Amino acid sequence: MKRLWAWGALTIGLLYFFLPLIGMTNFSLKMRRGEYSFDAYVKVLADTRFQDTFTYSVTLALCTILVGVFLVVPTAYWVRLKLPFLRPYIEFVTLLPLVIPAIVVVFGYIRLYNTSSWLPLTGTALGTDILLVAGYTMLALPYMYRAVDTGLRTIDVTTLTEAAQSLGAGWITIIARIILPNVLVAVLSGAFLTFAIVIGEFTMAALLNRPAFGPYMQVLGANRAYEPAALAVIAFAITWGCLGLIQLVSRFQKSAQRPV
């Protein structure tokens, strides 16, 4: 009887999750009257605004990943090595983006960095892009920090550092050639999550008035019927692709570190 309830709950859960997706996918394929087709997808993919916004968001995602790696890896490493008592505080700080809404942050940015401020970043496109990357880095911080910190937990950071130091290595060499390669899988996990977050982000990009993929999806959704559904399926595919890659690299790490 218990098993029956379990199967029932699972079925309801799966239907709740998959039915809208199936419905949306089905709808996105019905652009041509009376038959299934990829017309909506072709139209979306051929749209120059799609190409521009997607390229823009991918570029910003890569910049965000780079900034995140440069910020998080040395910080998490240093906290583990020299300041372990700071770990709870650092973890708290990295969790803040989950409780502070993006809209609050972006209004704070606009107020602090507007054209009449001492650092008028919103005055130029490049400055606004820098601001947007900073905002994205903050949004991805909880995921990137946890991924890297978990990776660092799997290696003996202190002893490896001391071994490298005794062989003449300085801090940059240690981070670049010892620490980073040994937490690369964790960094990649964080990077894929960051990529998924940036590709779908709407609030910051819209309020900073930048041509990102999130605002484009919103505009398309407000004006078209089939294309938004196709776009949503594409966005889902990208996100799931990222999750699949995380699984893949995690499996690679497990097989690479198997004991004799």
Partner 1 sequence: MSFLTLTHLQKSFGPTKVVHDFNMAIDKGEFVSFLGPSGCGKTTVLRMIAGFETPTGGEITINGKDQTSLKPNQRNIGMVFQAYALFPNMNVFDNVAFGLKVAGKPKSEIEARVKEMLKLIHLEHLADRYPYQMSGGQQQRVALARALAPAPQVLLLDEPLSALDAKIRVSLREEIRQIQRQLGITTVFVTHDQEEALSISDRIVVMNGGKADQIGTPAEIYNRPTTRFVANFVGTLNVIEAKVVDPAASTVEVGGKLLGVYGSLAGREKGSTIPLAFRPEAGSLLPGVSDTSALNGTVISSHFLGSVVRTKVDIGGSMISYDTFNDPSAAAPVAGQQVSLALTPESLMVLAD
Q: Give the interface with partner 1 as residue ranges (CB under 8 A).
A: 155-156, 159-160, 162-170, 173, 177-178, 181-182, 256-260
- 115 vs 165, beta carbon nearer partner 1: 165
- 49 vs 177, beta carbon nearer partner 1: 177
CB of 253 to partner 1, least distance (A): 11
CB of 117 to partner 1, least distance (A): 41
Name the H helices within the chain: 2-28, 39-46, 48-81, 87-99, 102-112, 125-153, 157-166, 171-173, 180-182, 184-200, 203-207, 213-223, 226-256
Alpha-carbon span 235 to 189, nearest angstrom: 18
CB of 168 to partner 1, least distance (A): 4
- 32 vs 177, beta carbon nearer partner 1: 177
CB of 216 to partner 1, least distance (A): 40
Task: Answer for the pair 203, 102: CB distance below 8 angstroms, yes or no.
Answer: yes
- 73 vs 220, beta carbon nearer partner 1: 73
Alpha-carbon span 194 to 46, nearest angstrom: 26
Alpha-carbon span 251 to 98, nearest angstrom: 28
- 126 vs 256, beta carbon nearer partner 1: 256
CB of 158 to partner 1, least distance (A): 9
Task: Answer for the pair 68, 134: CB distance below 8 angstroms, yes or no.
Answer: no
SS3 for 123? helix
- 134 vs 169, beta carbon nearer partner 1: 169
Residue given tokens 């964080």 in the structure block: 190
Task: Answer for the pair 73, 179: CB distance below 8 angstroms, yes or no.
Answer: yes
Alpha-carbon span 247 to 222, nearest angstrom: 35
- 49 vs 254, beta carbon nearer partner 1: 254
Distances from the Cα of 238 to the Cα of 200, 233, 234, angstroms: 10, 9, 6
